[in-house]
């Protein structure tokens, strides 16, 4: 039985089953993996991840900080260049072992379906609650430190945040491997700020002769991550916030195209995928309308800050747009986001 009496207009809640936690990722089946495999002709691979200490600092998002590496310790002893003869006089081994404090969405990342929800009257009783994709609820399925219930996580209500449903580990188990399709927006629009609606997107598809099929993972190159690399850990927020193409989440025709296209995931090299802040509108509205449409309504995961330059240039030189994409997140139970090292194989 569904956990909601009504679902948001334009959503696909329940289409993949009442307990589904994958959304449009369900469309990445065996045939999509085979389609991706058939795109491997040169046997060449491209790493699509930034170094995970970029962008650098926290001017792009004050909540997110660079990773901090440190040695593991036994009592007060750091285990880096640790001679095991300390424990056994006959040992010749030297051990190094580290750990990391990491914001899961600091650099190249996946958003899980628990990343953005909305206030919605899912029960039809006139009272809006915080809901996530497929009707999962805040305080029950996605919990925070101040939630009273923390159902199923074994803490006293003052523990860590946890996506008990919709966590990014669901995507890891699925595998996130199939056919990727690249749209090179930088090549068409340059590096000045350009809002990409349906009209602009369709123009690129037509100009490059690209066909999008159900289950494809769509990648967008804007050049943003390339600018981040050039800034070498000292990002200029003023420059980056006005850099390159970004999807216009307020364009209803673009959102409808995403619904109709059947894409299984949307990945970009920029921050947030969509233009933020969004174009001004009046009345109750989502501040992140593309996130609202994709994550909350469709269960379509978003990925940010991928590095696409080398892949884009190779594809252009070889007259291609498709490739095998392998991009599983960390299998970290209950995580809301995850770093990822995507690999494109051509």
How does residue 158 score in pLDDT terms, banded at 50, 70 and 90?
A: low
pLDDT at position 1 over 80: no
How does residue 156 score in pLDDT terms, banded at 50, 70 and 90?
A: very low
Closest by CA position to 295, among listed 344, 258, 240: 258
Q: How confident is the model over 283-311, as pLDDT tens digits?
A: 889 999 999 999 999 999 999 999 999 99
Look-up of token digits 């939630």: 147
Average pLDDT of the chain? 95
The sign of the torsion formed by the CA atoms of 247, 250, 256, 259 equals positive
Domains of the chain: 24-58+105-113+168-345 (3.50.30.50), 114-166 (no CATH)
pTM given for the model: 0.94
Q: What is the 3-state secondary structure (H, E, C) of 57-125?
A: CCCCCCCCCCCEEEECEECCEECCCEEHHHCCCCCCCEECCEEEECCCCCCCEEECCCCCCEEECCCCC
pLDDT (0 to 100) of residue 2: 85
pLDDT (0 to 100) of residue 146: 74
How does residue 160 score in pLDDT terms, banded at 50, 70 and 90?
A: low
Q: How confident is the model over 164-192, as pLDDT tens digits?
A: 999 999 999 999 999 999 999 999 999 99
């Amino acid at each position: 039985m569904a956990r909601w009496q009504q679902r948001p207009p334009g959503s696909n809640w329940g289409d993949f089953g009442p307990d589904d936690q994958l959304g449009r990722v369900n469309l990445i089946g065996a045939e999509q993996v085979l389609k991706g495999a058939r795109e491997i002709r040169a046997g060449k691979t491209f790493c699509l991840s930034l170094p995970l200490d970029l962008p650098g600092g926290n001017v792009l998002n004050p909540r997110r900080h660079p990773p901090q590496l440190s040695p593991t310790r036994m009592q007060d002893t750091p285990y880096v260049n640790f001679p095991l003869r300390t424990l056994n006089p006959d040992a010749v081994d030297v051990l190094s072992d580290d750990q990391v404090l990491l914001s899961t969405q600091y650099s190249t990342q996946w958003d899980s379906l628990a990343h953005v929800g909305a206030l919605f009257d899912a029960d039809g009783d006139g009272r809006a609650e915080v809901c996530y994709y497929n009707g999962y609820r805040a305080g029950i399925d996605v919990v925070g430190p101040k939630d009273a219930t923390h159902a199923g996580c074994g803490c006293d209500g003052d523990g860590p945040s946890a996506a008990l449903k919709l966590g990014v580990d669901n995507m890891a188990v699925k595998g996130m491997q199939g056919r990727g399709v690249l749209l090179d927006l930088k090549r068409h629009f340059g590096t000045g700020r350009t809002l990409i609606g349906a009209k602009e997107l369709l123009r690129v598809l037509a100009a490059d002769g690209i066909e999008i099929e159900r289950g494809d993972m769509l990648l967008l190159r804007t050049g943003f991550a390339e600018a981040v690399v050039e800034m070498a850990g000292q990002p200029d927020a003023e420059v980056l916030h006005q850099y390159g193409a970004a999807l216009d989440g307020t364009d209803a025709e673009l959102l409808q195209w995403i619904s109709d296209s059947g894409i299984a995931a949307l990945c970009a090299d920029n921050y947030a995928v969509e233009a933020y802040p969004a174009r001004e509108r009046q009345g109750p509205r989502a501040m992140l309308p593309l996130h609202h449409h994709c994550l909350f309504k469709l269960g379509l995961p978003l990925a940010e800050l991928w590095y696409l330059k080398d892949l884009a240039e190779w594809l252009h030189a070889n007259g291609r747009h498709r490739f095998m994409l392998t991009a599983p997140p960390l299998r970290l139970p209950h995580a809301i986001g995850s770093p990822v090292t995507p690999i494109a194989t051509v």
